[in-house]
């Protein structure tokens, strides 16, 4: 498989993110591709926060949440999906299918033998991550959920906000990622914006960025619909773990109607924390969210 590897020099200065990745290149089915994984905290911690980013971001998105999780004594695992961050980036957009990424996450969890997982998801991290419990042997590894601005895509017609995003992204093969994220979080500094741009020296590195909006399951025949429907049943009927939801209310793609659907879906989910000025990349308000989630988990 042809791929690109972002030069390390691009990541020399990352404000608020001094974590050094482990590199894994022996996942079954992904031979030759190197994945970057932040893995911090005690190996035998009582809880493992598995933080899954979406499009077009990378594990840098969790820099405000990781310290809070670590301060609780937990372990934090934050992978960069293939095509993003410091992970290798296949050149062929057709590679970036739903199963390609979902199986990657399953193999990674097995490779690291993660258990007592708190699943932390947003955007594509949720479209993928929320389906993990229905994979063989995965449900018993997950005991808590922290969900932000995401959904399960089951082939239904998309919202106007998502259609606008898909059209916008499709017209920009060299999507300006830093500018996009700054619109969601205007308080970001120029150095933080540069960190979001760091994985992508030019548009040849952005095959995954271009592919993901096309892969959201908005038609019944699309890959991922079947497992996403099964996942809805799991979260509504079989889930017995603890949950916490936070939502950026200013998100034009996954708005309050989507939040309400997910809130009603997840069995036993308490009322969400609404970040009224928070946009789609709500992890930029992550310290508040992480502290609130820890407090809620301790109470229940």
Residue 113 known to be catalytic: no
Of the candidates 130, 79, 131, the residue with the CA atom closest to the CA atom of residue 109: 79
Phi and psi, residue 36, nearest 5° = -95, 135
Of the candidates 260, 266, 259, the residue with the CA atom closest to the CA atom of residue 241: 266
Choose the catalytic residue: 47, 53, 101, 280: 280
Choose the catalytic residue: 39, 80, 88, 123: 123
Residue 176 known to be catalytic: no
Of the candidates 202, 177, 173, the residue with the CA atom closest to the CA atom of residue 4: 202
Q: CA-CA distance, 247 to 124, in Å (whole number)?
A: 15
Choose the catalytic residue: 39, 80, 88, 251: 251
Q: CA-CA distance, 198 to 182, in Å (whole number)?
A: 15
Residue 123 known to be catalytic: yes
Give, rounded to a whole angstrom, the gap between the first and last alpha carbons of the chain.
47
Q: Could you list the active site residues?
A: 123, 251, 280
């Amino acid at each position: 498989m042809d791929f690109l590897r972002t030069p390390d020099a691009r990541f020399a200065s990352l404000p608020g993110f001094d974590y050094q990745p482990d590199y894994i290149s022996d996942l079954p089915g992904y031979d030759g591709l190197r994945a970057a994984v932040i893995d911090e905290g005690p190996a035998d911690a009582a809880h493992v926060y598995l933080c899954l980013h979406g499009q077009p971001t990378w594990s840098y998105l969790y820099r405000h949440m990781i310290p809070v999780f670590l301060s609780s004594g937990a372990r934090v695992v934050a992978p960069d999906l293939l095509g993003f961050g410091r992970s290798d980036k296949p050149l062929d957009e057709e590679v970036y299918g739903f199963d390609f990424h979902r199986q990657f996450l399953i193999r990674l969890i097995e490779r690291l033998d993660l258990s007592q997982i708190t699943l932390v998801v947003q955007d594509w991290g949720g479209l993928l991550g929320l389906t993990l419990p229905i994979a063989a042997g995965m449900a018993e590894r997950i005991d808590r959920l922290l969900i932000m601005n995401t959904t399960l895509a089951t082939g239904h017609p998309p919202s106007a906000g998502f259609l606008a995003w898909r059209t916008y992204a499709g017209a920009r093969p060299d999507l300006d990622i830093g500018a996009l994220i700054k619109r969601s979080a205007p308080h970001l500094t120029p150095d933080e914006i540069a960190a979001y741009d760091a994985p992508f020296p030019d548009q040849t590195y952005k095959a995954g960025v271009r592919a993901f909006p096309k892969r959201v399951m908005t038609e019944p025949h699309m890959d991922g619909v079947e497992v996403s429907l099964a996942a809805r049943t799991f979260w509504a009927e079989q889930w017995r773990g603890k949950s916490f939801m936070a939502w950026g209310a200013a998100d034009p793609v996954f708005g309050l109607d989507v939040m309400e659907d997910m809130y009603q879906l997840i069995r036993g989910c308490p009322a969400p924390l609404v970040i009224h000025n928070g946009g789609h990349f709500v992890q930029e308000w992550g310290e508040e969210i992480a502290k609130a989630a820890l407090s809620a988990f301790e109470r229940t």
